[in-house]
Structures are given as C-alpha cells and as structure tokens.
Structure 1
C-alpha cells in the first residue's frame, strides 16, 4: 500500500538577477507502509529541500505529492498541519531538544497537541517510549546532562510518541561518533519496524544509507535509484595511481 508518492516533483526559486535556480528536477518516489528508504546526497544536492517537501513543510513548484492517495496540494493549511502532526515524525541532526526540560518533558511535548486519551495519558506514553529506547532510568535528566547518543534517543522517542506512520530522519547520525551512530540507527530501524512505520533516512553518509532496504542518490536535484554496492562505493575515496 502506498503511503507517500511523489510524481514529477520540481522545486525552483527565483534569483535576484531574475534567473531561476532549479533545486529539484522531476523527482519520482513511492514509499510503502513499513518501507525503509535511504536518500544519499552531498551538500547542496537538494536534500533539505526534498525533506521539506516529504514532511509537508513546503509545496513543489510543479508535480504532485500524495499522502494516502490524497493530493496534498488540495489540503487546506489546517489539514496539512494536522496530517503532519499525526502522520509524520521528524528526527533532526541537531536533536532540537528543549534546553532545561527533562527527557520526559521533551518527549511529552508533541502530546500536548493530542486529544482525548492520548492527551491525558501523555506522561505514561512518554515514559513508555523512553523505556523502549533504553532511557527508562534517565527520564528526569535534562539534555545538558545526557550524552550525544542519549540525546538522539530522546529525539527518536519524541518523534515516535504520537505513533507516526512516516518517520523522516535528517542526518540522524551526523552529530554522533561511528559506534554511537550505528547503535542509534539499529534502534531507529527496530522501533520503526516494530511500529510498522515507514522510514526515510536522508544522509550524506553512504554507510548509514546502506542500512535501508531501498536506496536512492540525489545529485544536482535528480533522484535516481541505486543498488547498495553503488551506495557504498560513494563513500570510498578515489585513488590516484
């Protein structure tokens, strides 16, 4: 079943000299329920722009984006906000945790906008999610007292606490060392799989991208499917003889 679908999506901006900068060029992508897709690309390739489109934070210049076969451009601003809040979880490279607030308070934050039982059970739900990511003993710690890996786990718990069907991970290991990054990715993949959520990892790290089941490369605004050996080859340094 298709969860998210992009058809011929472009994104361009008007430059001060009246020229046009094409950031994304005819992007096609389909993500199924429970899928794990990686998109690898160098700085300036259009990854951030694509992330904003996938997360319904921006609209394409041309082309169509469908969420559950609903054309997102037909949704009102409020409907887009509701869909983004209930269906999509964001995991950011820099964590974006609330300073001075405990891990529990950070994870509870998205549930302040929930309704019914989820709102009234927000403390219990946040506690359970922190336990799931291995931070049951750190729920009262503030971010300044947590390691980088622990902060990323809090960010993961916050992204998942509302039960999103689509998880967007933006450079999820960029601020972590190799060992901690591998642990975080394994955790993210396990939690996403157990909840049945689709996971899209956007990264410049080919080793992280290779952990997905389907792999894409974004280069100069063009998205193309690649096999895992090609993804890994992108991280190999060129050797001059």
Structure 2
C-alpha cells in the first residue's frame, strides 16, 4: 500500500532581484508501507529541504504529493500539522533532547499533545518504548548523564512512541562512532519492522544508505535511483 508519493515536486526560493533558487527539481518518489528507503547526497544537495517536505514541515512549490492517499497541498495547515503529529516520527543527528528532563520525560513529550489513551497512558507507553530500546533501567536518568549512543536511543524512543507510520531519520549515525552507529541502525530498523513503519534514511554515509531495500541519490536537487553502493557514492 502506498503511504507517500511525490510526483514532479519542486522547491524554489524567491530571491530579490534574481531568478528563484531551485533547490529541488522534479522529484518523483513512492514510499510504501513498511519500506526501507535511503537517500544519500552531499551537503547542499537539497537533503534537508526534501526531508522537510516528506515530513510535512514544508510544502512543494509545484508538483503533486499525497500522504495516505490525501492530497497534501489541499490540506489546511491545521490538518497537515495533525497528520504529521500522528503519522510521522523524526530521528535527528543532533538528538534535540530537552536538557533538565529525564529520559522518560523526553520520551513522554509527544504524548503530552495527544488525547485519550495516549495522554493518560503516557507513562506506561514511554516506559515500554524505553524498554524496547534497552534503556528501561535509565528511564529516570537526566539525559545529560547519558552517553551519545544512549541519547540517540532516547531520541528513537521519542520518535516512535506514538507508533508513526513514517519514520524519517536524518543522519541518524552522524554524531556516533562506527560501532555505536551500526547498533543504532540495527535498533531503528528492528523497531520499524516490528511496527510495520516505513523508514526513510537521509544520509551522506554510503554504508548506512546500503542497508536500505531501495537507494536513491540526490544531487543538485535531482533524485535518481541507485542500484549499487558505487552508484550512490559516485
């Protein structure tokens, strides 16, 4: 089942007294439920802009985009925000944890904006997710006392606590050593597989990109499929 589709998507930024800056050019992409997709590109290739569009944080300038068969460009800002909150989980390179809070309190944060069972069961849901990422024993530890790998696991738990259907991982191993990075990718893929969520990894690391079922290369705003690691690295 198609979860997300982009057809001919562009993103331009207006500049004073100059032609618009073209960041994305004619992006075509289909993400199925449960997919494992990687997008690799150098700095300045448009990765962050594409991530923002995939995550419903930004909108294309032109083109068509559907999320769960809904035309994104026709949604109100409120409906788009709600869809993002319910269906999309973000894992960032820099973790973006809230200092002064414990691991448990950080994982609970997305549930505080929910309603019904998600809100009232937030403690149990957050603890269960920390158990899933092998950090249940550190639930009450301030995040500033955790190692880099542990902080990334807290960030993953926070991203997945609402069981999103789409997980966007932005350079998820960029701040970690190779061994810890591999462990984090194993964990992220395992949790995504168990929940049948689609996982889209945006990275400059060809080894991370090669773990996906489908690889793409983004270069100068143009997205193209890559069949082999060598094509991605070229």
TM (norm. structure 1) is 0.95
The answer to whether the Cα contact below 8 Å between 1:99 and 1:142 also exists between their aligned partners in 2 is yes
The answer to whether the Cα contact below 8 Å between 2:226 and 2:232 also exists between their aligned partners in 1 is no
Counterpart mapping for 1:1-241 below 5 A: 1-231=1-231, 233-234=233-234
The answer to whether the Cα contact below 8 Å between 2:215 and 2:232 also exists between their aligned partners in 1 is no
The C-alpha deviation readout for 1:194-238, integer Å capped at 9, x for no partner, is 00000000000110011111000000000000013335644xxxx
Output the CA distance in 1 between the equivalents of 2:136 and 2:64.
42
Output the CA distance in 1 between the equivalents of 2:231 and 2:94.
24
The ranges of structure 1 where at least 4 consecutive aligned residues each deviate by more than 3 angstroms after the TM superposition are 231-234
**Structure 2: any 5+ residue segments left out of the alignment?**
none
The answer to whether the Cα contact below 8 Å between 1:39 and 1:218 also exists between their aligned partners in 2 is yes
The answer to whether the Cα contact below 8 Å between 1:206 and 1:231 also exists between their aligned partners in 2 is no
User: Cα distance 1:233–1:61, how it changes in 2: closer, same or farther (>3 A)?
Assistant: closer
Q: Secondary structure at the match of 1:218?
A: strand
**Structure 1: any 5+ residue segments left out of the alignment?**
235-241
User: How many residue pairs end up in the alignment?
Assistant: 234
- How far 1:143 sits from its partner (Å)? 1.5
Output the CA distance in 2 between the equivalents of 1:158 and 1:36.
20
